[in-house]
Amino acid sequence: MEKDMENGYSNAGAAPVKAPQDGAASAAVLLRRGLKTFLAKDIKGFVELCDVNVVFGFPFAPDEASRKIVGRTAIYDYLKDYPSIIDLKKTRTMTIYATDHPQLAIAEWSVSGQVIGNGNPYEMSYATFVTFNNGLIVNYREYWNPAAFMAAMNGTMF
pLDDT of the chain along its 158 residues, tens only? 333 433 443 334 433 334 444 445 899 999 999 999 999 999 999 999 999 999 999 999 988 999 999 999 999 999 999 999 999 999 999 999 999 999 999 999 999 999 999 999 999 999 999 999 999 999 999 999 999 999 999 865 55
* pLDDT given at position 117: 92
Q: Which residues pair with 126 in a beta bridge?
A: 109
> What's the pLDDT score for residue 25?
80
* CA proximity to 94, closest of 104, 79, 105: 105
Structure pTM? 0.82
CA angle 60, 65, 70 (to 5 degrees): 95
